[in-house]
Chains A and B, each alone.
Chain A
């Protein structure tokens, strides 16, 4: 292992390259790549990597980037790409297709505000737009987590019980362009962790049509199988956490990461780097005698309803912090969390939209508001910009 100072973009590219090379004993590695701010540095670094058995295809659009990944994966090789924001929106048709083909593609997504008007800063609305695309989704809090999650994502995606694509999401600039000490395993260690991919439905020489026509009965079965594969993810993820810890000496965070939750009465629920600020505010609140805690939803798909229900049972007040807005509804995370804890006061706060800097004082205001409430109200947009 070597500890290096890396941006999350470079950590992602290095992890993808390690995973890609690990399949040199299999059918190799590839992917289509296309630039978009703030993801570009990831694919630039990937294009500078040497692969014994790997091809990076410089395509003309995000739509084709994912199409190339599908071709690579259907050919039995390991596939990777990265995108962000409007790029993901343009790619969306093939994002859905990759999941419906049940291909173990891994994509690093840098969360960026959708435009127009154009805004390059962090917002989770882009990947949350793809929440129903049938992909596993992780939201990361630091660069080490980005690298580790890309490595374990292949293990998870390629598990015969799963066979689903994985999106590894990280916050624009806050992580993508921020250097942190990141511990990357050696190629030998990754080789041992990621055995060669054996895709059962890879296209070979047999006259089989992949992705042809379905009538309703077959579609019902295919959708049910897809859903059941998603439902198997938590158990498989648990096994992978154990093995990752055994091999690399650090344990990937749970699907929901809990912070100072033991006796917490007021709880922040958030995703991505918002959780780092939430933890600092929890510490400060506890010094004032407020029993605060934080939950970070790391795996958003499949939705960790079981863990959230366990952690939130009996908590008096819950503030769901969304860095996204579903106009006409409220926060996407809130819309899913609110049904999990029927006994609690659950208030939605949307803050940091368009990359506004969520500072501790903003979350302190949120906590004061939460504690002063007699009942939950309409979702609130907290302007921090």
Chain B
């Protein structure tokens, strides 16, 4: 049975899954970036056999309650910190049995940047045959919007009522420093690039890490329909660099930013989380330029 094309009008092919990974009946909010990412990922999976591990986060709540599940793939709902370790166990069993199963950990920023950090780092160091995808909505969305170490400077959350002062962690830098085979950021506004990366990361052996900027209309206090536009603005402004790192060294920039102050201004203006407290855009612009100088140096040296 053929379903309607799911992804930005990209052509349907015979290789598509008969049903998406995230099926109808899921409980995600309208405009959830994770839903869009899962739909792209579903297209990328095609006929590959996958097993997913999803820790405590919106990504598992969306499955709905037992005995139903909105996931059209086998999923293990793991404890919050454990996605990469449970995935390691599944991947080892698949390997020792000579099975082509691709094991995927799918976690939010809490389960990656914070409580999952040690587990992710250890699985990366062991170069487990696991694809770890972080859908980063820059907030503890499932618990109602508390700050994480992925929350950007300037954002108001329920635990940073006066706005967060500190910048978010460079998660791809951290994972790339483990010298894993593949790390990349994924833009929901660039579906061809996203699809290519999902497919490459599914097939590459060893530990792969993908970082998806995932708009959260509920937490960002933004319009559900503007999620893709927000990602596009973040990329134009240079806030979210789109790049990939092979083996921890070879760095390739995939989308050139405009470093546009107008885009930056608009990115902040469209989100309620930045409106409550005054944000010094000049400081953020400096941070962006500093980050890009560093990233370009890495891309040039590689």
Interfacial residues, chain A to chain B (CB-CB below 8 A): 27-28, 30, 32, 53-55, 57-61, 63-64, 67-77, 79, 93-94, 97, 203-215, 218
From known contacts A55-B96, A211-B78, A212-B60, infer whether A68 and B89 are also in contact, taking CB-CB under 8 Å: yes
- Of the candidate stretches B80-88, B160-168, B230-238, B241-249, the one touching chain A is B80-88
B49: which A residues are within 8 A, CB to CB?
205
- Complex contact A203–B89 (CB within 8 A): no
- Complex contact A213–B92 (CB within 8 A): no
- Complex contact A72–B92 (CB within 8 A): yes
From known contacts A30-B93, A71-B85, A209-B71, infer whether A64 and B66 are also in contact, taking CB-CB under 8 Å: no
B69 interface residue per 8 A CB criterion: yes
- Given A61-B122, A71-B86, A212-B60, 11 new contacts (CB under 8 A): A55-B95, A64-B119, A71-B76, A72-B92, A75-B92, A75-B93, A204-B74, A205-B101, A208-B75, A210-B75, A210-B77
Complex-state Cα separation, A346 to B32, whole angstroms: 61
- Complex contact B92–A57 (CB within 8 A): yes
- Complex contact B51–A30 (CB within 8 A): no
- Some 20 contacts from A to B, beta carbons below 8 A apart, are A30-B96, A57-B92, A61-B118, A63-B119, A70-B82, A71-B53, A71-B85, A71-B92, A71-B93, A72-B92, A72-B93, A74-B76, A79-B89, A203-B76, A206-B74, A209-B71, A212-B69, A213-B61, A213-B66, A214-B65
A31: nearest residue on chain B (CB-CB)?
B89
A205: which B residues are within 8 A, CB to CB?
49, 74, 101
Q: Name the one of B66, B87, B97 contacting A218, with C-beta atoms under 8 angstroms.
A: B66
Complex-state Cα separation, A8 to B153, whole angstroms: 54
| Interface-centre pick from B63, B67, B86 (highest chain A CB count, 10 A) | B86
From known contacts A67-B82, A212-B64, A213-B65, infer whether A72 and B89 are also in contact, taking CB-CB under 8 Å: yes
A74: nearest residue on chain B (CB-CB)?
B76
B87: which A residues are within 8 A, CB to CB?
71
- Complex contact A203–B74 (CB within 8 A): yes
B76: nearest residue on chain A (CB-CB)?
A210
Chain B: minimal CB distance from A200 (Å): 14
Complex-state Cα separation, A203 to B101, whole angstroms: 11
Complex-state Cα separation, A193 to B76, whole angstroms: 31
Q: Name the one of B92, B118, B122 contacting A30, with C-beta atoms under 8 angstroms.
A: B92
Chain B 124-154 per-residue mask, 1 if CB under 8 angstroms from chain A, else 0: 0010000000000000000000000000000
Complex-state Cα separation, A67 to B84, whole angstroms: 9
Complex-state Cα separation, A203 to B104, whole angstroms: 13
B121 interface residue per 8 A CB criterion: yes
B73 interface residue per 8 A CB criterion: yes
B53: which A residues are within 8 A, CB to CB?
71
- Complex contact B90–A71 (CB within 8 A): yes
Chain B: minimal CB distance from A83 (Å): 14
Complex-state Cα separation, A317 to B127, whole angstroms: 60
A69: nearest residue on chain B (CB-CB)?
B89
Chain A: minimal CB distance from B122 (Å): 4
Chain B: minimal CB distance from A17 (Å): 15
- Complex contact B74–A211 (CB within 8 A): no
- Complex contact A209–B75 (CB within 8 A): yes
Chain B: minimal CB distance from A21 (Å): 12
Complex-state Cα separation, A32 to B71, whole angstroms: 28
A215: which B residues are within 8 A, CB to CB?
65-66
A214: nearest residue on chain B (CB-CB)?
B66
- Complex contact A67–B78 (CB within 8 A): yes
Complex-state Cα separation, A211 to B60, whole angstroms: 10
Q: How large is the interface on B (under 10, 10 to 19, 20 to 34, 35 or more residues)?
A: 35 or more
B90: which A residues are within 8 A, CB to CB?
71-72, 74-75, 203
- Complex contact A68–B88 (CB within 8 A): yes
B72 interface residue per 8 A CB criterion: yes
- Complex contact B79–A97 (CB within 8 A): yes
Complex-state Cα separation, A25 to B94, whole angstroms: 15
- Complex contact A212–B92 (CB within 8 A): no
From known contacts A59-B122, A203-B90, infer whether A32 and B85 are also in contact, taking CB-CB under 8 Å: yes
B91: nearest residue on chain A (CB-CB)?
A71
A58: which B residues are within 8 A, CB to CB?
126
B97: which A residues are within 8 A, CB to CB?
27-28, 53
Complex-state Cα separation, A207 to B70, whole angstroms: 9
- Complex contact A30–B89 (CB within 8 A): yes
B75: which A residues are within 8 A, CB to CB?
207-210, 212
Complex-state Cα separation, A30 to B72, whole angstroms: 28
Complex-state Cα separation, A93 to B291, whole angstroms: 38
A218: nearest residue on chain B (CB-CB)?
B66
B70: nearest residue on chain A (CB-CB)?
A209
- Complex contact B93–A77 (CB within 8 A): yes
- Complex contact A208–B77 (CB within 8 A): no
- Complex contact A70–B74 (CB within 8 A): no
A202: nearest residue on chain B (CB-CB)?
B93
- Complex contact B89–A73 (CB within 8 A): yes
B85: which A residues are within 8 A, CB to CB?
32, 59, 63-64, 67-68, 71
B78: which A residues are within 8 A, CB to CB?
67, 70, 97, 211
B121: which A residues are within 8 A, CB to CB?
60
B93: nearest residue on chain A (CB-CB)?
A75
A213: which B residues are within 8 A, CB to CB?
60-61, 63-66, 77
- Complex contact A94–B93 (CB within 8 A): no
A32: nearest residue on chain B (CB-CB)?
B85
From known contacts A67-B78, A203-B51, infer whether A74 and B89 are also in contact, taking CB-CB under 8 Å: yes
- Complex contact A94–B74 (CB within 8 A): no
- Complex contact A208–B89 (CB within 8 A): no
B23: nearest residue on chain A (CB-CB)?
A207
B101: which A residues are within 8 A, CB to CB?
205
A211: which B residues are within 8 A, CB to CB?
76-78
Q: Name the one of B60, B89, B91, B126 contacting A67, with C-beta atoms under 8 angstroms.
A: B89
A75: which B residues are within 8 A, CB to CB?
89-90, 92-94
Complex-state Cα separation, A207 to B42, whole angstroms: 13
